Amino acid sequence: MSLSQSKLAIIGMGNVGCALAHHLTIGNLCDELVLIDRLQQKAWAEAEDLKHSLGFSENRMSIYAGDYSDCKDADIVVLSVAAPYVDGNTRLDMLDKATRIVQDIVPQVMQSGFAGIFIVITNPVDALTYLVHKLSGLPAHRVIGTGTSLDSARLRHFLADTMGVDPRSVEAMCLGEHGDSQMIPWSQVTVGAKKFSQILHDNPERLKGIDIHKVQQEISQIAYQIVRSKGATNFGISAVAARMVKAIVRDGNIVMPASVMLNGEYGESDVYAGVPAVITCNGIKELVTYHLDEHELAEFKQSLALLKRVNQQMMASLNQEEACQ
């Protein structure tokens, strides 16, 4: 059932955090919204600006700037903090700085008594969602990353534009890392419930310009192009997080890609990666497991292997730091 009264905290009021707060406000997706940032005056200013916008709506949300103690009775805490992006770096290159930020924040949130659901946006999102799970001690189904949701949206729009159809007619998801090793399971892509492979076969002239190998590369790289041009991606990813929030507070039981813990699916475990999952008021209800062909499964496992190596290096580094203290 949906949450009768919902409280949500956003930590990190940069481009993404502010865009998410705006999504939640205009969508009336919670009753109480707490904005938290290391720059307290910034959080206060954003909260005041959002409150003023309520004068032109029937929304009666309570919006205010707060601190980690305000997470105590929150249903959802969203991590939208970010390490500075350096041109030419990949998301994984941001890991060391982002790890330190998350390592500082999560224990303070948990000390407040928080027992809700974490949504992690911070990149590299798969590794950091794994880290939040480990640091928080919360069950894996209550720690969710945005994963490959935005990549999947980009893929659907690309295919829809190419074919001249509405993106809502396209079913397509990217799997694995939210990063350069992600893959597209083309055997699962459909348009109007028709398999994409059959569409290619039936329309060789109309779709002769599509190179599926180049599509995967373009989808994984487009974020870097956006960041170089405008400094950040914020509208797309905040829409993803808002959709996850809506699924939780309204017990949506929707299927969407998310960074979630694998527990034997595809023969893998103890790794967070982007796969389709059912999201409810309790977090992740179940995963949707695709029947991948041999080549796709190998690609997916290659991405998982990369994420596992990153997790092992990250946790080893943290353990070493603790041993030296």
272 versus 3: the higher-pLDDT residue is 272
In this structure, of 71-85, 212-226, 282-296, 301-315, the range with the lowest mean pLDDT score is 212-226
- What residue numbers bound the domain in which 294 lies? 149-311
Identify whether residues 61 and 171 lie together within a single domain: no
Q: In the chain, what are the helix, strand and coil shares in percent, each to the nearest 5?
A: 50, 20, 30
**What DSSP element (H or E) covers 9?**
strand 7-11
Question: Do 168 and 184 share a structural domain?
Answer: yes
Residue 227 banded pLDDT, cuts 50, 70, 90? confident
Residues 126 and 157 in one domain: no
Give φ, ψ of 279 to 5 degrees.
-110, 130
> Are 217 and 300 contained in the same domain?
yes
308 marked ligand binding residue: no
Does the annotation list 323 as a binding residue?
no
Confidence of residue 151 (pLDDT cuts 50, 70, 90): very high
Domain boundary residue, one of 145, 173, 199: 145
155 and 67 co-located in one domain: no
Report the pLDDT value the prediction gives residue 91, as an integer from 0 to 100.
76
Give the residue carrying structure tokens 């808002």.
242
**Are the beta carbons of 181 and 303 closer than 8 angstroms?**
yes
Split into its structural domains, the chain has a count of: 2
The predicted structure's pLDDT at residue 88: 66
The single residue listed with the structure tokens 């409280």 is: 7
With b for 16 or more beta-carbon neighbours within 10 A and e for fewer, the 137-168 pattern comes to ebebbbbbbbbbbbbbbbbbebbbeebeeeee
2 within some domain: no
For residues 40-63, average pLDDT: 93
Higher pLDDT, 55 or 118: 118
Whether residue 117 sits in one domain with residue 15? yes
Task: Return d(Cα 149, Cα 20) in angstroms, integer.
Answer: 15
Catalytic positions, written as ranges:
178
CA gyration radius, the chain: 20
CATH code, domain carrying 220: 3.90.110.10
What is the model's pLDDT at position 325? 62
Same domain, 67 and 166: no
Q: 135 in a domain, yes or no?
A: yes
200 shares its domain with 227: yes
pLDDT tens profile 88-101: 667 777 888 999 99
The reply to whether 141 and 166 lie within a common domain is: no
Residue 207 has pLDDT above 80, yes or no: no
Residue 233, annotated ligand binder?
A: yes
Do 98 and 162 fall into the same domain? no
Residue 243: pLDDT over 70? yes
Q: Is residue 178 part of a domain?
A: yes
User: Would you say residue 91 lies in a domain?
Assistant: yes
Is 268 contained in some domain? yes
- Domain end, chosen from 87, 111, 145, is at 145
**Cis preceding linkage at 276, omega within 30:** no
Which residues fall within 8 angstroms of residue 312, CB to CB, at 6 or more apart? none
Residue 325 lies in a domain: no
Is the predicted pLDDT of residue 24 greater than 90, yes or no?
yes
Residue 310 clears pLDDT 70, i.e. is over it = yes
Considering the domain boundaries, does residue 317 fall inside one?
Answer: no
Q: Which range among 93-107, 153-167, 293-307 has the greatest average pLDDT?
A: 293-307
CATH number of the domain encompassing residue 127: 3.40.50.720
- The reply to whether 87 and 193 lie within a common domain is no
> Residue 58: pLDDT band by 50, 70, 90 thresholds?
confident
Q: Is 280 annotated as a binding residue?
A: no
- Same domain flag for 69 and 37: yes
**Residue 21 or 56, more confident:** 21
Distance CA 6, CA 24 (A): 12
One-letter identity of residue 207: L
When pLDDT is averaged across residues 208-221 and rounded to a whole number, the result is 82
| 213-220: long-range pairs with CB below 8 Å, 24+ | 215/155, 215/158, 215/184, 216/182, 216/183, 216/184, 218/158, 219/151, 219/154, 219/155, 219/158, 219/174, 219/182, 219/184, 220/151, 220/174, 220/179, 220/180, 220/182
Q: Using the 3D structure, point to which of 145, 170, 190 is the last residue of a domain.
A: 145
